[in-house]
């Protein structure tokens, strides 16, 4: 099982290409004590990963993983994990992330996706592994919860909750259960933490009753208004540098994507060629903004290359494909779609390939991928 999980992780990354098992028939069986690197080089292997379960007693395992440079014939990295058997998937994901880090890539396989689901009768917060495993309910209340967003360190979730018939904004520590109220006056939604961990942007009708973009500290203090317009300004998304914010506004007559500096200045439009563009999601890699576009009542997800201004359509279905959120490495997106009839969560790669379904129970929507 460890082998399959790590293999699936590395294949999903689109960085590593695993050699077919049929190639192994051309070389001697692997002996961890004496590795014949020339054998592996002969079948065009560049990297060799060797994993062993050293102990397996009771409810615990001891797992050791080693990574070798085949051409150089040397050990690059080794790590040993002791864990409960129930945490086997986590151990495998951690090992796969270590392989990613060796090559300068961000951790992906231990990341989490938070989302909203009504599978138990009410819209509540849930979280799951990046691959859809370990789906766990986070909130337990009779209120409707919406639009969750991870903090940069993965320790907090900001979200909207309808309490006392008001859409208030709250910050939750999902691991300790601590909840902090940010603002309950007016209607508050679409929170997003800045990548540097210092700020929290959100949409609110706090002043004048009009939806505007506001920013606060990451603890929800010192609230400051950023946009001043009679139109609707919503759906903020931070740039990787935390210096800019993409957002949706209908100030030009129809919903379009704009970018402004983090202080609210230098507003400019970046979406063209359509009458409805919404829900911008700025890639952690920096070069792309994904968004939703509506054409003939069909909602699809597109990605704009900020350098070339090229737009790529990522989804192709007669459905509502909405609320994209990027993976930590910027190579994948999670989004909601009713392609099968009910609203469920899917992932897709940055170029529109490798569609995967993650959820099936009830309806699941409004995902946010941890960084």
Q: Which residues contact 98 (CB under 8 A, 6 or more apart)?
A: 65, 67, 77, 79
Residue-level pLDDT at 34: 81
Average pLDDT, the chain: 94
Helix or strand holding residue 3 (H, E): helix 2-13
Residues 195, 123: Cα–Cα separation, whole Å: 27
Question: Is the pLDDT at 30 greater than 80, yes or no?
Answer: no
Mean pLDDT is highest, among 25-29, 66-70, 114-118, for 114-118
For CATH 2.120.10.30, the residue range(s) in the chain are: 112-369
Question: Is the pLDDT at 273 greater than 90, yes or no?
Answer: no
Residue-level pLDDT at 318: 87
Question: Is the pLDDT at 369 greater than 80, yes or no?
Answer: yes
Question: Is the pLDDT at 246 greater than 90, yes or no?
Answer: yes
Could you tell me the pTM of the whole model? 0.94
Question: Is the pLDDT at 54 greater than 80, yes or no?
Answer: no
Count Cβ atoms below 10 Å from residue 62 Cβ, excluding itself. Answer: 14
Burial profile 348-363: b = 16 or more Cβ within 10 angstroms, e = fewer: bbbebeeeeebbeeeb
Residue-level pLDDT at 165: 85
Residue-level pLDDT at 256: 98
Are 5 and 89 in contact, with CB atoms under 8 Å apart?
yes
Report the pLDDT averaged over residues 48-66.
Answer: 84
CATH topology of domain 112-369: Neuraminidase (2.120.10)
Percentage of residues in the chain with pLDDT exceeding 90?
A: 82
pLDDT band at 85; cut points 50, 70, 90: confident
- CA distances to 188, 191, 330 from 204, in Å: 4, 10, 28
pLDDT band at 167; cut points 50, 70, 90: very high
Question: Is the pLDDT at 240 greater than 80, yes or no?
Answer: yes
pLDDT band at 55; cut points 50, 70, 90: confident
Report the pLDDT averaged over residues 110-116.
Answer: 99
Helix or strand holding residue 96 (H, E): helix 88-102
Residues 334, 113: Cα–Cα separation, whole Å: 8
Residue-level pLDDT at 266: 98
pLDDT band at 58; cut points 50, 70, 90: confident
Question: Is the pLDDT at 218 greater than 90, yes or no?
Answer: yes
Residue-level pLDDT at 86: 87
Residue-level pLDDT at 317: 84
Mean pLDDT is highest, among 23-32, 100-109, 255-264, 309-318, for 255-264
Question: Is the pLDDT at 56 greater than 80, yes or no?
Answer: no
pLDDT in tens, 191-206: 999 999 999 999 999 9
Report the pLDDT averaged over residues 186-195.
Answer: 97
Residue-level pLDDT at 284: 97
Residues 10, 50: Cα–Cα separation, whole Å: 14
Q: Which residues contact 322 (CB under 8 A, 6 or more apart)?
A: 279, 292, 299, 301, 335, 336, 337, 365
Residue-level pLDDT at 196: 98
Question: Is the pLDDT at 24 greater than 90, yes or no?
Answer: no
pLDDT in tens, 136-157: 999 998 889 999 999 999 999 9
For CATH 3.40.50.10070, the residue range(s) in the chain are: 2-102
Residues 304, 293: Cα–Cα separation, whole Å: 12
User: What's the CATH number of domain 2-102, 3.40.50.10070, 3.40.50.300, 3.40.350.10, 3.30.830.10?
Assistant: 3.40.50.10070
Question: Is the pLDDT at 64 greater than 80, yes or no?
Answer: yes
Question: Is the pLDDT at 261 greater than 80, yes or no?
Answer: yes
Report the pLDDT averaged over residues 346-359.
Answer: 97
């Amino acid at each position: 099982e460890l082998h399959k999980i790590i293999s699936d992780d590395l294949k999903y990354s689109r960085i590593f290409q695993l050699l077919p098992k049929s190639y192994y028939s051309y070389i001697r069986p692997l002996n961890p004590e004496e590795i014949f690197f020339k054998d592996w080089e002969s079948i065009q292997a560049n990297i060799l990963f060797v994993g062993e379960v050293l102990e397996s007693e009771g409810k615990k395992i001891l797992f050791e993983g080693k990574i070798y440079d085949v051409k150089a014939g040397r050990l690059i990295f080794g790590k040993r994990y002791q864990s409960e058997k129930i945490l086997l998937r986590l151990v495998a994901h951690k090992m796969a992330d270590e392989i990613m880090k060796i090559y300068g890539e961000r951790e992906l396989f231990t990341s989490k996706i938070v989302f909203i689901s009504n599978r138990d009768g009410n819209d509540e917060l849930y979280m799951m592994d990046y691959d859809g495993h370990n789906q766990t309910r986070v909130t337990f209340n009779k209120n409707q919860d919406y639009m969750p967003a991870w903090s940069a360190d993965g320790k907090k979730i900001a979200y909207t909750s309808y309490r006392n018939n008001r859409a208030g904004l709250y910050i939750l520590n999902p691991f300790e259960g601590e909840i902090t109220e940010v603002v309950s006056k007016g209607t508050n939604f679409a929170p997003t933490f800045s990548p540097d961990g210092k700020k929290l942007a959100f949409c609110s009708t706090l002043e004048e009753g009009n939806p505007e973009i506001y920013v606060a500290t990451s603890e929800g203090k010192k609230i400051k208004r950023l946009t001043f317009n009679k139109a609707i300004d919503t759906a903020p998304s931070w740039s990787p540098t935390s210096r800019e914010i993409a957002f949706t506004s209908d100030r030009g007559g129809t919903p379009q994507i704009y970018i402004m500096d983090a202080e609210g200045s230098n507003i400019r439009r970046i979406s063209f060629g359509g009458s409805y563009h919404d829900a911008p999601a700025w890639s952690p890699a920096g070069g792309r903004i994904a968004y939703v576009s509506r054409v003939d009542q069909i909602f699809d997800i597109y990605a704009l290359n900020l350098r070339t201004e090229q737009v790529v359509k990522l989804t192709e279905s007669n459905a509502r494909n909405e609320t994209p959120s990027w993976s930590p490495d910027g190579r994948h997106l999670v989004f909601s779609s009713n392609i099968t009839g009910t609203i469920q969560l899917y992932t897709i790669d940055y170029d529109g390939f490798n569609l995967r379904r993650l959820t099936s129970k009830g309806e699941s929507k409004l995902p946010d991928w941890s960084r």
